[in-house]
Amino acid sequence: MRYKIVNPKRTIIIVSIILAIIAVVVIVSFNFLKPKEKQVAKIEDIEETNIEKPDGEYIDIEELENEEEENIEQGNTIKNENSKENNNNTKNKMPYYIKVNYGAQVVTIYQKDSEGNYTKPVKAMVCSTGIATPKSGVYSIPARWEWLRLEGYVWGHYSTQITGNILFHSVPYLTKGDPASLEYWEYDKLGTYASAGCVRLTVKDAKWIFNNCAKGTKVEFYSDSNPGPLGKPTAKKISSYPDYLRNWDPTDTNSNNPWLTYKPEEITKPKNEIQNNIANEIKNEVVNEMVNEIVNNVVNEEVNEITNTILNSIVNENTNTTVQQ
């Protein structure tokens, strides 16, 4: 049998070509099968310059995009953009101007006067700001979400973005979409320096901004000991109430909110208070009995002494009269 002599150089070239083809096929297949990463906008792309990022509350951009799509589908757009007040008139699309006084922990809403300047105060809100709250500047509202995830996997209800990670929103909730999961211990801090940087509000106030302040509405930050022309409102302290009440924001107009039908007499007094009341009642009864007994004894002794004195006088007088006769 005769064997054909193989050219070594030719063999090496053929093998190299085959290996190259295999490598290309592997790379193409890997890229094709690899799941494509979703393009997510970076938070820095929408932030204003020179603004501190909060340590505790932040925006999850992917979550925001999903929420925005849901809001659009459900028709949850800003109410006043379609209202008669705006009437598609450019001059009326921004009827409000918001001032955040982080020194006094008050938000004041202003409306335009007859000359078109924002000088008419129409609403004041108690708030809580924090370390990353802007110390100055004017910003434009870019977006809003009914429920927004915050750091620590808690949720802000009626969240309106001011700039970057800074938002108006309710006191945090433990569960998305559950208005009965309020962090009541944080609610009691409203009116004090308490947030990571966002502007916390009652549900009623956060919802008002959510519904009435269109995208582009200006928000100004400043500090002053003077709360403003409408003063500083207060928020109810709820930590001492039973769970079925304190897990809800008292200002929430949700029909399931127990605060709407709550009557003060429904609250049962703490056990210690009841025991103290009973002890005080017993003590008062004992004291009253002792006092009455002492008074009665003294009075009886006095009466008896006076009576005996009078009787003795009468007897002695009668006796003397009889002897003389």
Domain containing 109 — which CATH number? 2.40.440.10
pLDDT for the residue numbered 82: 42
pLDDT for the residue numbered 16: 75
Residue 207 resides in a domain: yes
Structure tokens belonging to residue 169? 């929103």
pLDDT for the residue numbered 81: 43
Contact yes or no for 188/157 (Cβ under 8 A):
no
Q: State the catalytic residue, choosing from 127, 157, 198, 213.
A: 198
Helix (H) or strand (E) holding 157: strand 154-163
Could you confirm whether 213 is annotated as catalytic? no
Residue 133, phi then psi, degrees to nearest 5: -65, 135
- Model confidence at 41, pLDDT cuts 50, 70, 90, reads very low
Structure tokens belonging to residue 85? 């007040």
Residue 218 resides in a domain: yes
Span 97-133, pLDDT tens digits: 999 999 999 999 999 999 999 999 999 999 999 999 9
Residues 6 or more apart whose CB falls under 8 angstroms from that of 308 comprise: none
- Is the predicted pLDDT of residue 88 greater than 70, yes or no? no
Q: State the catalytic residue, choosing from 127, 157, 169, 213.
A: 169
Number of domains in the chain: 1
3-state secondary structure of 43: helix
Residue 5 resides in a domain: no
Transcribe 167-225 into DSSP letters: EEEES-BSSTT-TT-B-HHHHTTTTSS-BSSSEEE-HHHHHHHHHHS-TT-EEEEE--S
Of 50, 226, 215, nearest to 132 by C-alpha is 50
Residue 278 resides in a domain: no
Transcribe 117-152 into DSSP letters: -EEEEEEEEE-B-BTTS-SS-EEE---EEEEEEETT
Residue 142 resides in a domain: yes
Span 10-25, pLDDT tens digits: 777 777 778 778 777 7
β-sheet bridge partners, residue 107:
100, 125
Residue 36 resides in a domain: no
- Model confidence at 141, pLDDT cuts 50, 70, 90, reads very high
Residue 131 resides in a domain: yes
Could you confirm whether 157 is annotated as catalytic? no
Span 197-253, pLDDT tens digits: 999 999 999 999 999 999 999 999 999 999 999 999 999 999 999 999 999 999 999
- Domain of residue 211: give its range: 43-241
- Whole-number Cα distances in Å, 3 to 7, 8, 12, 94, 141: 13, 15, 19, 92, 84
- Is the predicted pLDDT of residue 76 greater than 90, yes or no? no
3-state secondary structure of 300: helix
